[in-house]
Amino acid sequence: MAKENDSGQERTEQPSSKRLKEAREKGQVCKSVEVSTCFLFVATVISFYFYIPSVASRLSLVMSTYLGNLAGWDGTQGSLVTIFHGAVVQLGIMLLPILVVFLGIGIASNILQVGFIFSGEPIVPKFSRLDPVAGFKNRFLSLRSLELLIKNIVILLVIIWVSYRAIRRELPVFPPLMNSDVSVIVLTLFKSSMHILWDFLWVFIVIALADYMFQKWQHTKDLMMTKEELKEEFKHTEGNPIIKSRIRSIQFHMARQRMMKEVPKADVVITNPTHLAVALKYERGKMIAPVVIAKGAGFLAEKIREVARSSRIPIVEDKPLAQALYKTVEIGDVIPEEWYKAVAEILAYVYRLKSGVR
């Protein structure tokens, strides 16, 4: 069922580009938390595979140094603080690159989803948010909270199922390690951990894609418009259709009046004979070819013929030429070269009539 607005009208129309732009300016964009989580998990797997072995070796060196310094502790509080401070600094140096990478990936994942947005509206205080009853309803009793709860339950069940299968698959590897060296145990644990992480990686990718599609659908649904809202927006952006139609009608009437004023200046009017009329004008030495100064069909063609008769403009019937000029030549344009000969013969005939030659 379509969502309704405050007036009870159903929102059945897709959001316009203007509505999407306004929502983006307000900070209302399509963003999935699961996509950011997926990017961070990918970074975790890559870091664990390439960087953790070196961190482990450096961590063992830090621990040995720390324990060695601890053995030489003189019993004072200042000496203990110095030893602890050195260990913390070394640990921070090791973990800093990973934290920087995680920070960059978190920012990049949001930019990839929504681009660069600078909007202060989401942080503007609104007194309506201070209503505890409305806040409780939106938090626990709304359809959105139910959807979020179902989504989290499904994700949790999938993770539990994948964890169970992964751990069950890796369990047979550990009993033979009882009599193995420490290096073999560490290497086996590392490989098993990588296998489990790869399993979780595909799960997070599928979850991120599904959640992004759902968030996109939800975002579009929230911005759906009623037919009345769409009409009002069209009026504000494109103008009232009735007014625009009236303006076009006035413009067409004025253009027709200007065209009819040019008909008495024509040299000849070529007709169909009754459905079409095309008025041509040619001035030697000023024009490269005859120009169409007026044309019309039906009632307008009859008006052109009436003005031509009253102005004593010759009217020549030529169906193919009238149809061709009416369809291919606009008012104010010269005739195409392919019609030069036919028009020249008609103009020659008209000039003979004007000079009294029969």
d(CA 272, CA 1): 58
What pLDDT sits at residue 24?
75
Question: Stretch 233-254: mean pLDDT, rounded?
Answer: 70
Q: How far apart are the first and last CA of the chain?
A: 81
Alpha-carbon dihedral sign for residues 290, 294, 300, 305: negative
Query: Over the stretch 26-70, which tens digit does the pLDDT of each residue have?
Result: 777 777 778 888 888 888 777 777 766 666 666 666 666 666 665
Percent of the chain with pLDDT over 90: 0
Residues 61, 109: Cα–Cα separation, whole Å: 35
| 358 pLDDT more than 50 | no
Supply angle C-alpha 333, 336, 339, rounded to 5: 125
| Cα 296 to Cα 325: distance, rounded to the nearest angstrom | 11
Report whether pLDDT(111) > 80. no
Structure tokens at 38: 């997926």
pLDDT(99) > 70: yes
Please tell me the chain's helix, strand, coil percentages from 3-state DSSP, rounded to the nearest 5: 70, 5, 20
| Separation of alpha carbons 304 and 263, rounded Å | 7
CA distance 14 to 11: 8
- pLDDT band with cut points at 50, 70 and 90 for residue 357: very low
Owner of token pair 């413009």: 251
**Digit-coded pLDDT (tens) for 252-311:** 788 788 888 888 888 889 888 778 899 989 888 788 888 888 888 888 888 888 888 888
Q: What are 161's two structure tokens?
A: 């199922």
pLDDT in tens, 180-203: 776 677 677 777 877 888 888 888
DSSP letter (8 states) at residue 139: I
Label residue 167 exposed, middle or buried (CB < 10 Å: 0-12, 13-18, 19+).
exposed
Query: 3-class SS at 280?
Result: strand
Nearest of 198, 222, 336 to residue 278 by alpha carbon: 336
Angle between helices 227-238 and 241-262 in degrees, nearest 10: 40
Task: Determine which helix (DSSP H) or strand (DSSP E) holds 296, and give its type and residue range.
Answer: strand 291-297
Q: For residues 308 and 118, what is the distance between their CA atoms, to the nearest angstrom?
A: 67
CA of residue 1 relative to chain centroid, distance:
26
Greatest mean pLDDT among 120-134, 135-149, 194-208: 194-208
DSSP, collapsed to helix, strand or coil, labels residue 357 as coil
Mean confidence (pLDDT) of the chain = 76
pLDDT (mean) for 95-114: 77
SS3 call for 254: helix
Q: Which domains does the chain have, with CATH numbers?
A: 29-222 (no CATH), 259-354 (3.40.1690.10)
